[in-house]
Amino acid sequence: MSRVRLLIGTQKGAFIATSDGARRKWEIDGPFFGGWEIYHITGSPADPNRLYASQSSGWFGQLIQRSDDGGESWQPFSNDFSYASEAGTHQWYDGTPHPWEFARVWHLEPSPGDPDTVYAGVEDAALFRTTDGGSSWTELAGLRTHNSGPSWQPGAGGMCVHTIVLDPVDPDRIFVAISAAGVFRTEDGGSTWQPINRGLRSDNLPDGGAEVGHCVHRIAMHPSRPQVLFMQKHWDVMRTDDAGDSWHEVSGNLPSDFGFPIAVHAHEPDTVYVVPITSDSEHYPPEGKLRVYRSRTGGDEWEPLTSGLPQENCYVNVLRDAMAVDGLDPCGIYFGTTGGQVYGSADQGDSWAPILRDLPRVLSVEVQSLP
């Protein structure tokens, strides 16, 4: 029977939960890197025992940890994320030019085919890549030096590359999302980039339909259909059918179209999950009810999934990297909250159960399907 391994990054360390294919009983290991912020911990699709973790701290800066044995042991690898060229400036909160300064790694995206190749999305916004298992990192500087770069501004959480989507068919095509610049796409392996935000509307911009400046929270793709992307924007759930050339809104009947994570079912490319949050002023679920919403129509028509989730007095958030789906059948889905709970569903979201209740604030959740 298959197994699953949950990789959980929190504000005070990482945790690993494992289960058999039934996904009812979980063994918990951790904390790893206790006391450190783990923005992201993830595994290589090419070698499930190869794990990478972004470990950081306001005191001691950034570290990258790597495990070659499924998380039993870890070693720090290179933490040198030097920008490849003169850093230049972006806009600061007050509109003045501000030098690009590395702060932390938000997201690690391992290559589907090579455990030694990993992309790293960092704050201040830039994309790095290692091809030697984390021993060295090289910036793909064409993103940061895009001619719109000097106009990018940080969101409240910083100015970061937080989402990296690798096209499973075309290795030269990569999508990234930047808060608060929007989505960018490369067709040449990262040398040149273009903003792909046509169709987005953001009321917090002077020109709501601007080419850049949108606070995109997360994008997701089903590997069988790389032309189709789903987006949870600051407000609005969006969809593109042409790899980002144009977007249209699919918020439909959601109680709120503000939120952070978005995920696509492992086996149904038109089944999508979001977690609506009341507003950008109130980062908690509407009516104190924690509800995952599922669309089985590729958006527009959404149904609340509530069985096993708290339906009163719940005021947690689910952050952008804190939801994941496994590859088992039926598909499992998992998310972690800012209140330290990790919930799992082994039946595509129809019912939920807590896996962990009292962790630190959960920053990321990934899941590996193991033989």
The residues binding another protein (CB under 8 A) are 35-36, 57-63, 76, 79-80, 82, 102
Report phi then psi at 139, rounded to 5. -75, 140
Question: Is 60 or 93 the residue whose CB approaches another protein more closely?
Answer: 60
Question: Is 53 or 196 the residue whose CB approaches another protein more closely?
Answer: 53
Q: Which of 262, 277, 153, 261 is nearest to 206 (CA)?
A: 153
Residues 236, 240, 244, 248, Cα dihedral to 10°? -50
**Minimal distance in Å, beta carbon 360 to another protein?**
11
Question: Is 92 or 350 the residue whose CB approaches another protein more closely?
Answer: 92
Q: Are 221 and 207 in contact (CB under 8 A)?
A: no
Burial 151-174 (b: 16+ CB within 10 A, else e): ebbbbeebbbbbbbbbbbeeeebb
**Minimal distance in Å, beta carbon 217 to another protein?**
25
Question: Is 31 or 276 the residue whose CB approaches another protein more closely?
Answer: 31
Question: Is 88 or 208 the residue whose CB approaches another protein more closely?
Answer: 88
Q: What is the Cα Rg of the chain in Å?
A: 19
Residues 103, 108, 111, 115, Cα dihedral to 10°? 100
**Minimal distance in Å, beta carbon 78 to another protein?**
9
**Minimal distance in Å, beta carbon 63 to another protein?**
7
**Minimal distance in Å, beta carbon 329 to another protein?**
41
Cis peptide before 226 (omega within 30 of 0): no
Q: What sign does the dihedral 28-31-37-39 (CA atoms) show?
A: negative
